[in-house]
């Protein structure tokens, strides 16, 4: 069974600070995705990383896929209250049965 461990589980910081969220597994994934979920809504895809060592940037968010494709990180620079939400990493095993394996998520609160 593939498992994804996310850390920290909860994080509350002040506006303007930087933060990093981690997603680790003992399994190799063909791709890894990051989602953001707000209360009462479904997860919204932020980014997909496919290649080991890949780095993608989305405005103030920087996503990195580990060289061995077992781990990933999300770094937010100068966090804003609008970044508040549940951040989920999800791995896909590849092949036809490619339902995602999700971590438990990181609850992020950015205080003004």
Partner 1 sequence: EAGVAQSPRYKIIEKRQSVAFWCNPISGHATLYWYQQILGQGPKLLIQFQNNGVVDDSQLPKDRFSAERLKGVDSTLKIQPAKLEDSAVYLCASSLRGTSGSNEQYFGPGTRLTVT
**Where along the sequence are the contacts to partner 1 (CB under 8 A)?**
4, 30-31, 33, 35, 40-45, 48, 50, 88, 90, 92, 94, 96-105
Closer CB to partner 1, 15 or 98, in the complex: 98
Closer CB to partner 1, 4 or 11, in the complex: 4
Residues paired with 51 in a beta bridge: none
Closer CB to partner 1, 17 or 38, in the complex: 38
Class of residue 97 by CB neighbours under 10 A (exposed 0-12, middle 13-18, buried 19+) = exposed
What does the alpha-carbon distance between residue 57 and residue 46 come to, in Å, rounded to a whole number? Answer: 10
| Minimum distance from residue 84 beta carbon to partner 1 (Å) | 17
Check if the beta carbon of residue 32 is closer than 8 Å to that of residue 89.
yes
């Amino acid at each position: 069974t593939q498992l994804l461990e996310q850390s920290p589980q909860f994080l509350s910081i002040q506006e303007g600070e930087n933060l990093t969220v981690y997603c680790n597994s003992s399994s190799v994934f063909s791709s890894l995705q990051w989602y953001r979920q707000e209360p009462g809504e479904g997860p919204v895809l932020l980014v997909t990383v496919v290649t080991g060592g890949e780095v993608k940037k989305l405005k103030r968010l920087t996503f990195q896929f580990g060289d061995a494709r077992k781990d990933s990180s999300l770094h937010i620079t100068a966090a804003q209250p609008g970044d508040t939400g549940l951040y989920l990493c999800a791995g896909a095993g590849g092949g036809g049965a490619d339902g995602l394996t999700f971590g438990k998520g990181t609850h992020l609160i950015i205080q003004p």
